[in-house]
Structure 1
Amino acid sequence: MAKKKSAKKATSRNYLKLFWQLFIAGVILAILPFLLASIGALGHMPSFEELENPESNLASEVISIDGKTLGKYAYENRTPVKFKDLPDNLVKALVATEDERFFEHSGIDFKATARAIVKLGQDGGGSTTTQQLSKLLFHGEGSKNVFGRVFQKVKEYVISIRLERQYTKEEILTMYLNKYDFLYLAVGIRSASRIYFGKEPKDLNVQESAVLVAMLKNPRQFNPKREISKDKSLARRNVVFSQMAKNGFLTEKEKDSLQELPIVLNWSPESHADGLATHFREYLRSYMNGWIKNNPKPNGDKYNLHRDGLKIYVTIDSRMQQYAEEAANEHMQNLQRIFFKEQKRNKTAPFYDVELEDRERIMLQAMKRSTRWKRMKAQGKDDKEIRQTFREKTEMRVFSYKGDIDTIMTPYDSIVYYKHFLRAGLMSIEPQTGHVKAWVGGTNYKHFKFDAVKQQKRQVGSTFKPFVYATAINQLKWSPCDSFPNTPYTISKDKYGMPDDWSPKNSGADENPEDAYGGMLTLKDALAKSVNVITARTIDAVHPKNVVRFAHSLGIDSKIPEVPAIALGSVDLSLYEMVGAYSTFANKGLRVGQMMVLRIEDKNGTILEQFTPETKEVLSEESSYVILNLLEGVTTAGSGVRLRGNWGSYPDNIATGYPYEFTNPIAGKTGTTQNQSDGWFMGIVPNLATGVWVGGEDRATHFEFITQGQGASMALPIWALYYKKLYEDESLSISQEEFEKPEDVSIRINCSDEPEEGEDPLEEKKKEVEEEIEF
């Protein structure tokens, strides 16, 4: 009996021992994965330094001079915000819906985890916001096999506990919202707020916050932008309202009212092809890449424009940029309508001055420049085979001013279609600071990426003439009131080493020579009427070399041949160069280099570099004022006079234009190149110089007649519409005053005053030319 009792006790002890062994083994087995995970045995685990500075891609941001975000450069379009920038309704919506005990647990909600296990996840997962953050930061979306998922869940627990020790609850919640991808390039709460609702996070109302929180469950399945998921998005948003009511953040009445509301988006995409100043931002990208090469980080590494969160403060004013783009778009729609109408009767549309074989040559060149041709050439296809594919119809989306059109056409026909579109460029500079205030490189970046401001150079026509007259005024003290004969003028080929004599004609001389020539004209009238022969006399008097030298001193970098023909604008220059040069006249002869970047900061707000423009005195204050006086004559009695008065509505004959009715002083000059290939208008008021160019991609693309194709019809209306908008916005303080007159002006500018007795201006100036000219 005693033996039986002893055996029974031994068995009990063995069972108890086995129990404790199994229990301890179970505890060890339960703890072991976490221990292994913590030392990195289950894969990489973040170090203390990584937890302190979790790896992330931060978008570099382009910020206008008035504090608006113009665009971003990013792998992820993400700009972090701080907790104080999050609205209370967003925080409450997130906590109520995604993690009710967020402010109570230490990274893992065991109650929610147990519920998820028991119900097999049918009533929601058990992951906390901290766990979701650890997944986003350090190990992605998870493995596809069971063991991999278990190990990742273990790592997720460990990282979550570490995060809770390292950061406050507010910091964790903010990091999660800053990292989450809401799709459509909306990475992080700030991008999502701006893209889906067109506002900053702090301005989100409770409906908008609920929509974004609803997307945290699955940004694709519950996305309000996708047509297929709109109903699911609405239903999920209403679940958020219910959870907020359940947790006491909304009353039942408020919940019921909110659930009846539709989802209203203010869709504001932020891809590089969208938003303001797209061509400028592309230029700025190349500028920043150059800056990065020469400005390493303190540790010697290079900055990454797409992930280091740089802040680039630029001189562009978002309001002025908006008005400039609106003006260009408004005029170009009307201009394009008229151009399309004209081309219906053009056998070689959209080209003039070409034979059919020339047209095909232009088209072949365009095909060879296309991505399709280059891709197929790289695949080893021969030219004949490639050309055949350009004749095969395919689905595509093409540009129109009323929105993109889905259609079916051949790639060849799509090239012809795009060749029909006229292009436009606009640039504004504040002369006193050199700040570039507006930059319109084209009317649509997505379809027309070539930049008409800096990348493109075209013949400038009569807009070059002021440089010729300015040379004479500055060096020889010529007066706007000096008179010259309006008669044919020839410059001998031997004088400047030309192949032939040069005998320019006035506009319209071939059709009506009696109207094109005759009498005496003052320099002011000659510029206002853009009289070629008097411009030829002037450049012959001062020598082309001095005109070229003067143009370069104004900031024009392009090579200019030292021949008389440049007087009529036969040289190719960029809009960027032309506006910079003209702005010098408004700044009393002081050349201030174009300035686009104010400063660059790192992601922490530390200033990496501040910029100041280069300045140089080019001509005297008196000469600058006299040149402005000359240019004012263009807008009061010359080709720019349509800026004044009421010219009626906008008919098919665009020469009459809009009722602009400007009354303030404007110094300006129109320009039209051969065959109307380019239309220019340069216009200056005391604190803003603006240039506009309009033309086709090919010089053979132009209006048939000068009535529609001249600069006063193609380019001037954009300038006028733009300035109308500027003047209506009083916060911009664009000047309507007269140009400031120097105290002592010895050059006669009031042509109603008689010259002193015995003075013969023309003869005196001719003598001065021979005595003072520098070669």
Structure 2
Amino acid sequence: MINKVSQQDIKRYNWYFWRFFIGCFAFFVIMILLIAFQVFGPLPSFRELENPKSDQASEIMSSDKQVIGKYYIKNRTSVTYKQISPNIINALIATEDTRFYQHSGIDFQRTFSIVLYNLVGKKQGGSTITQQLALNLFSERSRNPFKRVIQKLQEWITAVKIERNYTKEEILTLYLNTVDFGAYNTYGISSAARTYFNSTPDKLTPDQAALLIGMINGPGIYSPINHPENAKNRRNFVLRRMDEEGFLSAGQAEEYKAKPLGLTFSPIDHNDGIATYFRAVLKKEIQKILVDKSIFKPDGTTPYDLDRDGLKIYTTIDATMQQYAEEAQKEYMRKLQAQFNAHWKGISLWKSIPTFKSLLDKGMHRSDRYIALKSQGASDEEIREDFNKPAKMNLFTWRGDIDTLMKPIDSIVYCKMMLRNALMSMDPTTGYIKAWVGGTNFEHFKYDQVKMGTRQVGSTAKPFTYAVAIDDGISPCQQVANEPITITGYGADWSPRSSPSETVPGVITLRTALARSQNWVTAYVMNEVKPQPVADLIKKMGITSNVPPYPSICLGTFDASVFDMTGAYSAFANEGVWTEPTYLLRIEDKNGNVLYNNTPRVVQAMNAQTAYVMTYMLKGVIDEGTGWRLRGTYGLKNPIGGKTGTTNDNSDGWFIGITPQLVTGIWTGCEDRDIHFRSTRLGEGANTALPIFAGYMKRVYANQALGIKKNVDFVPPKSGLSITLDCGAYSQQQKGTNEVEKKLDF
């Protein structure tokens, strides 16, 4: 009887089991069908599978083929399979999916043996590499358990589709280009190699590969920066798996386990790296180009996203020269700021600068703190009270950022008293910009002073007036009495001033007048050639700001940018041809298709003879004039021309230097013109700007690989010269001419 009952029970339980199993299987099949018919949400289309969306950083390439920066939401740069070390592939397969090459997206054997694997110590996740890729590319992991089950089934279907559309190599490449590696939005194996080891994926050693692959399942808890012990244990686990799967010998695995992490942590941040100001200006320029030129994706309607679409941006910037420019700025501006601070020490800003209160009010109203408080409904009285309460501040210094306790209003004073500086260096023959330093520290002072800012140009404008005179056939050897002059006929009479200590007495040549930056002789030349031709030439030489045709423009009373002024001087060094300063060459999509090619404008601003004579006059500034420090103090003996510039009250200091291969413009001053050096000795361009040019050029000349040669001089025009540059010969000619005229008069 007992045996009979037991047999019936067994049959009944078997029936329940099979009914449950069949029901579960039917439910599973129905769910798969419902998901396949997209009842629970859309699945990736064929087009999406062919072109998966994976936010990819756009890269900025220098002329010497270095990545000098990126634009991104997620710091991801894709690489090809051939650019990935086998160590990475082996570590990934050994740890994440040992049967990767056997399954077709779903590994059912793996799925049903997960528990067994974990029991024997071979820890395996539930998803294949292809399933993980499906999750990375087309969805985000849900926290809801029911939704996660649905999502898991969706991943299965997508994984199978991926396997049908891609080879195993392509799947591995896609996966490694999309995974998250934690710090500073680092996505993809290329960015991870750069961030953690300052290397590339093809050069990663087994222990380095094991560390990075070990981070995939937990970039937070296995972070080698925040949790180095966890990271090391995880790395060693991956090395053990590589040993077990035959990718490493036991001896090799033990050797790599004994090594330290060996990090070279170099995170990429928008505020870090070289050419930060340039990259910010470039980004706005590219976004404008994409809109203005109606550049869309292949579908013809979707605009490109610079932060997500992995564009390649090729620029003219030379990474080495950029580094030299930034080093030269940092080296000298640290010293100049010390001079400035000592110069103002113990002197009341409120008494010495009448507009100081107004400047502080403007600074306060422009600050993020004021804007935030105002948006919260605070009154002006409450805001002013807040600005007078000490708060934690992070301040820029030339010795590094410091955290301190300071009243916000005092921090504005501190920033107002910080000198700013900008530099641009370009090849005058091609117009290619080689270095761009838009300010002293992008994180703290984001306003670009190369292209975005304009300042009064001072005496750097004088060569434009002399160029018109030379073009009219006047020799630089012509002598003029250096005496006061008043120019009439252009509204109010204009009489320029000349500092007694800097005035060269007597009769001097035009070359000497430019070399010594003499105001009266320059005004005399302006009166001879008239303002309109000078204004016309300035515009032809690329100055985009307003230049009214008044006599005072000969002394630089108009504003211009470092970008425009450097470009203008390039025409002197390039046989009179102005080539538009160029920093963007072309834009490519992530597949290498050219989206935009830049063609710079070219203008014959003056004839070749005039340009050559002007280089002769500008060399006089260095040989015997206001730029003599390049020879005497800094030891640069090669052919160099240039011009210093100092504006009223020493608010702006300029130096623009020219060589046959490089033209470099530099400006120095405070944010507000009312704050400046109180003496010309300290505030003149020869002291505030010229030394940075010297530091930059000495570095450039020392690196012969850059091809900027010391022994190259400006080339005379092929047609010869009709203007005499030898002042001794010119005097004899004038003497002979005068004698002939006397005889004719007789």
Query: So what's the TM-score if we normalise by structure 2?
Result: 0.93
- Tell whether the 8 Å contact from 2:141 to 2:148 is kept in structure 1 after alignment: no
- The alpha-carbon distance between structure 1 residues 283 and 742, as it changes in their structure 2 partners (threshold 3 A), is same
Q: 2:743 maps to which residue?
A: none
Superimposed CA distance per residue, residues 476-500 of structure 1 (whole angstroms, 9 cap, x where no aligned partner): 21111111111222223xx2112xx
Superimposed CA distance per residue, residues 269-326 of structure 1 (whole angstroms, 9 cap, x where no aligned partner): 3222122211111111111121111223252332222222222211111111111111
Q: 2:490 maps to which residue?
A: 496
2:723 is the counterpart of 1:747: yes
Greater mean deviation of Cα atoms: 282-291 or 36-45:
36-45
Structure 1 residue 338, shift from structure 2 partner: 2.4
2:603 is the counterpart of 1:616: yes
* Distance in 1 of aligned mates of 2:600 and 2:496: 39
* Distance in 2 of aligned mates of 1:12 and 1:96: 44
* Distance in 1 of aligned mates of 2:674 and 2:738: 41
Superimposed CA distance per residue, residues 584-619 of structure 1 (whole angstroms, 9 cap, x where no aligned partner): 011101111122221111221111222221111111
* Distance in 1 of aligned mates of 2:321 and 2:701: 11
- Tell whether the 8 Å contact from 2:589 to 2:595 is kept in structure 1 after alignment: yes
* Distance in 2 of aligned mates of 1:592 and 1:17: 88
Greater mean deviation of Cα atoms: 157-166 or 448-457:
157-166
* Distance in 2 of aligned mates of 1:637 and 1:302: 57
1:716 to 690, 696, 715: 690
- Tell whether the 8 Å contact from 1:726 to 1:734 is kept in structure 2 after alignment: yes
2:462 to 439, 462, 465: 465
Structure 1 residue 665, shift from structure 2 partner: 0.4
Q: 1:685 maps to which residue?
A: 659
SS state at 2:87 partner: helix
Greater mean deviation of Cα atoms: 196-205 or 754-763:
754-763
* Distance in 2 of aligned mates of 1:15 and 1:244: 45
- The alpha-carbon distance between structure 1 residues 401 and 760, as it changes in their structure 2 partners (threshold 3 A), is farther
2:477 is the counterpart of 1:481: yes
- The alpha-carbon distance between structure 1 residues 337 and 233, as it changes in their structure 2 partners (threshold 3 A), is farther
Q: 1:106 maps to which residue?
A: 104
Q: 1:657 maps to which residue?
A: none
Greater mean deviation of Cα atoms: 410-419 or 457-466:
410-419
2:247 to 241, 246, 249: 249
Q: 1:313 maps to which residue?
A: 314
Structure 1 residue 217, shift from structure 2 partner: 1.9
Structure 1 residue 100, shift from structure 2 partner: 2.4
Q: 1:152 maps to which residue?
A: 151
Structure 1 residue 344, shift from structure 2 partner: 2.2
- Tell whether the 8 Å contact from 1:686 to 1:735 is kept in structure 2 after alignment: no
Matched AA of 1:26: C
1:637 to 624, 629, 635: 624
Superimposed CA distance per residue, residues 641-668 of structure 1 (whole angstroms, 9 cap, x where no aligned partner): 11114x3xxxxxxxxxxxx211210010
* Distance in 2 of aligned mates of 1:757 and 1:159: 90
Structure 1 residue 81, shift from structure 2 partner: 0.9
SS state at 1:683 partner: strand
Structure 1 residue 159, shift from structure 2 partner: 2.0
- Tell whether the 8 Å contact from 1:178 to 1:189 is kept in structure 2 after alignment: yes
Q: 2:136 maps to which residue?
A: 136
Corresponding pairs, count: 731
Superimposed CA distance per residue, residues 536-590 of structure 1 (whole angstroms, 9 cap, x where no aligned partner): 1011111111111110111111111222222111111111110010000111011
Q: 1:424 maps to which residue?
A: 421
SS state at 1:496 partner: coil
1:505 to 497, 512, 519: 497
2:559 to 566, 572, 586: 572
* Distance in 1 of aligned mates of 2:728 and 2:368: 62
2:336 is the counterpart of 1:335: yes
* Distance in 2 of aligned mates of 1:241 and 1:292: 47
Structure 1 residue 232, shift from structure 2 partner: 1.7
Matched AA of 1:629: Y
- Tell whether the 8 Å contact from 1:457 to 1:575 is kept in structure 2 after alignment: yes
2:363 to 357, 363, 366: 366
* Distance in 2 of aligned mates of 1:40 and 1:255: 47
Long gaps (5+) in structure 1: 648-659, 765-775
SS state at 1:644 partner: helix
Matched AA of 1:464: A
2:400 is the counterpart of 1:383: no
- The alpha-carbon distance between structure 1 residues 265 and 22, as it changes in their structure 2 partners (threshold 3 A), is closer
Taking the TM superposition and a 5 Å limit, the aligned residue runs for 1:228-627 are 229-293=227-291, 294-297=293-296, 298=298, 299-348=300-349, 353-355=352-354, 358-474=355-471, 476-492=472-488, 495-498=489-492, 501-507=493-499, 509=500, 512=501, 516-627=503-614
* Distance in 1 of aligned mates of 2:673 and 2:555: 17
* Distance in 1 of aligned mates of 2:336 and 2:115: 67
Matched AA of 1:621: A
* Distance in 1 of aligned mates of 2:586 and 2:13: 76
- The alpha-carbon distance between structure 1 residues 465 and 199, as it changes in their structure 2 partners (threshold 3 A), is same
* Distance in 1 of aligned mates of 2:217 and 2:12: 51
* Distance in 2 of aligned mates of 1:110 and 1:467: 80
Structure 1 residue 124, shift from structure 2 partner: 4.6
* Distance in 2 of aligned mates of 1:9 and 1:110: 34
SS state at 1:95 partner: helix
Matched AA of 2:332: H
* Distance in 2 of aligned mates of 1:21 and 1:763: 128
* Distance in 2 of aligned mates of 1:110 and 1:633: 84
Structure 1 residue 110, shift from structure 2 partner: 3.6
* Distance in 1 of aligned mates of 2:195 and 2:16: 62
- The alpha-carbon distance between structure 1 residues 496 and 163, as it changes in their structure 2 partners (threshold 3 A), is same
* Distance in 2 of aligned mates of 1:271 and 1:665: 40
Greater mean deviation of Cα atoms: 256-265 or 421-430:
256-265
Query: So what's the TM-score if we normalise by structure 1?
Result: 0.89
Aligned residues with identical type, % of pairs: 43
Matched AA of 1:477: G
- The alpha-carbon distance between structure 1 residues 519 and 238, as it changes in their structure 2 partners (threshold 3 A), is same
* Distance in 2 of aligned mates of 1:51 and 1:217: 24
- Tell whether the 8 Å contact from 2:96 to 2:125 is kept in structure 1 after alignment: no
- Tell whether the 8 Å contact from 2:512 to 2:620 is kept in structure 1 after alignment: yes
* Distance in 1 of aligned mates of 2:9 and 2:409: 92
1:67 to 65, 77, 102: 65
Structure 1 residue 10, shift from structure 2 partner: 11
Q: 1:164 maps to which residue?
A: 163
